[in-house]
Structures are given as C-alpha cells and as structure tokens.
Amino acid sequence: MVGIFSLVTGWPGPSGFGSSSTAEQVTQGIDGTNLTAIITGGASGIGLETSRVLALRGVHVIIGVRNVKAANEAKKTILTEIETARVDVLELDLCSIRSIRAFADNFIALNLHLNILINNAGIMFCPFQLSQDGIEVQFATNHIGHFLLTELLLDKMKNTVKTTGIQGRIVNLSSIAHTHCYKNGIRFDHINAKDGYNDKRAYGQSKLANILHANELSRRLQEEGVNVTVNSVHPGLIMTPLFRHSAVLMNFLKFFSFFLWKNVPQGAATTCYVALHPRLKGVTAKYFVDCNEMTPSSYARDEALARKLWDFSHKLINSVSKP
C-alpha cells in the first residue's frame, strides 16, 4: 500500500514510480504513434498536461471540452512545443446529455480509431444546483456525463481492438475523496434533492461512482471477452481550477499540508501511467494512487453497489433524455 511516507518523500512503490514522478517520467520511451485518445477536460490543469504528454509520445489526442476557445489556445501551446503533435478539439459539455450525444456522433464521424478514453473532466465542491437535464450538477458532470460518453463510444473502442489488435484502455479519474461520501455511498433516492445536500459529500459520492462504474464496466467487458481494460485513479492533491468554489479553504489547507501537494506534471503522472504504460497490459478494475495499485474504500469494492449504480444510471439517463 502506498503510505504517507511514500506520499511525503516521493519514494517509489512497486511500479518504480511514486508521488514525485512526473507524467513525462512515467511515459519515457513509450511510443504512442499508433494510438488515438480522447481526454475530457483536456485543456486545463492536469487534463492539459495529460494531453501534452500523450501528444509528446505520439498519441493523436482529441480534447473534449466545453470551452472550445480555451481548448484551441491549449492546442496552440502544445503545437508550439511539439511541432509534430496531433491534437484536435471537439465541443463537449458533460452537464448536457444532448451535448454528449453530439460529441460522440462528431467523433465517430471523424472515422478515427479509439484506443484510449480518459474520463478526466470534473467539477468540485459546488453549491447545490441542477444541470440543464435536472440532475445534481456534480453527479451529472463527474459521473453521469462520463457514464453516457463511455457507453456511446464503447462500440468504437471494441471495433478498434478488433481492427488493430491493440488493447483498449479506459481511465476514470476518481479521488481519495471517494471515501468521504454519503451514508450508504450513493443517495439513490435523493440524488437530486437539495435537502441534505453537502457539497463535499456530493463530490465524494460522484468520485465513488467513478470507481464503481470502472469496476462494473470492467466486469461486463471481461464476461464478453473484450480486450479493454477499465481502471480508476486518484491524481493527488493539486491546486487547479477545480478548487475555484473553495479557493480560500484550499489555500488554508495547503499552507498546513504543503508536503502532501503535487505540481501539475506530478498530478498527471498516474493518469498517463495507467493510460500508456505497457506494464498495465491486461490490468483492469484496479484503483491507482501515485502510479501504484491501492485498495479503495469498502463501498468502492461493493459489487452489488456497482451493479445498482449501473442500473440506476441507465434509468436516470433514460428518464431525462429528450428525443
């Protein structure tokens, strides 16, 4: 297990990497020129660093993002550093089922392979509000949006595996915050209720859902015999735009826990490791911290809860989808 000593010192775990490893270091020497990856929220924070490093390794990167203008600026920044980079931008609002469906259609129309899907985008500690589809916004953006996006793109990834023989990889960005959720894990009967809403627990609930989604999807793919892995990661504590709703609190905490925080290149390392490293071939339904496998909470390992969330997510999407 990756302990507090390893976190503070950066001492490497069994993988040879640790909390101080950067995304470039964990992907050194890996050739991704035959790969195409979609990265949600790939225009800022650790998403941008993930996009940059994958592009550096030759991967064709598709950035799915709500702010297309900002994403195009990020693309220019990457191309300035890496002239041979292949980066494209497609609009994607994970808070909108209509936008998610349009993104999937637009990507499929490009007739590209899909080897890697990184469900990176997210929001954090938001005051209570509902998405345009009427779903609590953190659950909508962090879980439901990625759940639907993954489902819409899964056939494309399966076909890519059949055509290329290259294993597909799906990476869900979760968080250690999945341990701080509501009683019983998910508020299935009150998912969109303002009563009892807590911004921190709602975030933890959505991050728990990311792990449960990865585990249940992995189980289903294994039953089908599909060569696609699904894992979840905790990137670490990084001061990024995610903290815009609680910047004062986070700066206060950072002052007293500076030794636990990572910079952005370190924060993107675990995502890039799980998405690209050959050592992870065939490894699925695992949770990674600092590029090493770690045991998540008991709720996150609850197979019955994962199945219940899977069915609940489908029903929720169907209930709010409009023709």
Per DSSP, the residues of 109-141 read HTT----EEEE-----SPPS-B-TTSSBHHHII
Q: 197 catalytic, yes or no?
A: yes
Angle between helices 145-164 and 303-320 (to 10 degrees): 110
Amino acid making up residue 205: Q
Q: Which residues contact 21 (CB under 8 A, 6 or more apart)?
A: 10, 12, 266, 269, 273, 290, 291
Instruction: Considering the candidates 182, 197, 203, 299, report the single residue annotated as catalytic.
Output: 197
DSSP 157-213: HHHHHHHH-PPEEEEEE--GGGGS-BTTBS-GGGTT-STT--HHHHHHHHHHHHHHH
Tell me the C-alpha distance between 274 and 268, whole Å: 10
Burial level of 258, CB count in 10 A (0-12/13-18/19+)? exposed
Q: What one-character DSSP code corresponds to residue 44?
A: S
Separation in Å, CA 237 to CA 19, 175, 177: 10, 9, 10
Catalytic residues: 197
